[in-house]
Structure 1
């Protein structure tokens, strides 16, 4: 179980190949929180993998259903990433930035006001 006690610092869409494989979709959508504002309870299985940029990420997932619950990126120990689907809240705020767009599927369309990064 995960609970955030503060609003996210950033909500992003990532089109990198690693996120595509992790989610089984064409992108991942996640919120970043200050680590001190995230309360985590229960058992999680962890998996460390290298991303497209060469850095590593440690992903924690539910050992029962396999869903990614949260993750931490190498060098960003003070932040916790949470897939927004983990909140199961259709009113969750929209992403502000789209990253790794060089891997984006050609048919994906994004909100007009989103910041873009290759």
Structure 2
């Protein structure tokens, strides 16, 4: 099966050779709110080694609250967020769920929330596995 997606202008495309994501959930951290321009970022965590990406990706390196670097990937052309890559967990990458193909997005079943300490008070949905910060 696998996963696939693209940015808004379709200059960046990707495929992931997996049957299912490791985690699907919401990231409520302040950086993800700013990157997504929304209340949280829908993330689809997959093994980085299984990701194949094509197109002009630009990366922004920022610091997480832990002090570790997080690389945020964007389409160089349209600016769509594609993923974030935490140096603290080099084996994974968190794809932005909105960039998946339409039918794949519809099939997602988010069950995990991270950085609930930064969750905006008007976000009422509660998922099965909430974490105040990053799960250990």
In structure 2, C-alpha distance between the alignment counterparts of 1:73 and 1:104, rounded to whole Å = 20
SS in 2 for 1:82: strand
Check whether the contact 1:44–1:63 (CA below 8 A) recurs between aligned residues: yes
| Number of the residue aligned with 1:93 | 108
Q: 2:35 aligns with which of 18, 22, 25?
A: 22
* 1:82 corresponds to 2:99: no
Gaps of 5+ in 2: 1-12
Check whether the contact 1:60–1:71 (CA below 8 A) recurs between aligned residues: yes
In structure 1, C-alpha distance between the alignment counterparts of 2:26 and 2:67, rounded to whole Å = 19
SS in 1 for 2:84: strand
Q: 1:56 aligns with which of 61, 69, 75?
A: 69
Shift of 1:53: 3.1
In structure 2, C-alpha distance between the alignment counterparts of 1:102 and 1:76, rounded to whole Å = 21
In structure 2, C-alpha distance between the alignment counterparts of 1:51 and 1:20, rounded to whole Å = 13
Shift of 1:48: 0.3
| Number of the residue aligned with 2:10 | none
Q: TM-score, normalised by structure 1?
A: 0.89
Q: How many residues are paired up?
A: 117
Cα gap change, 1:25 to 1:40, in 2 (>3 Å):
same
SS in 1 for 2:107: coil
| Number of the residue aligned with 2:123 | 108
What RMSD in Å do the two structures reach over aligned CA positions? 1.5
Gaps of 5+ in 1: none
In structure 2, C-alpha distance between the alignment counterparts of 1:42 and 1:18, rounded to whole Å = 24
* Structure 1 residue ranges, 4+ long, deviating more than 6 angstroms after superposition: none
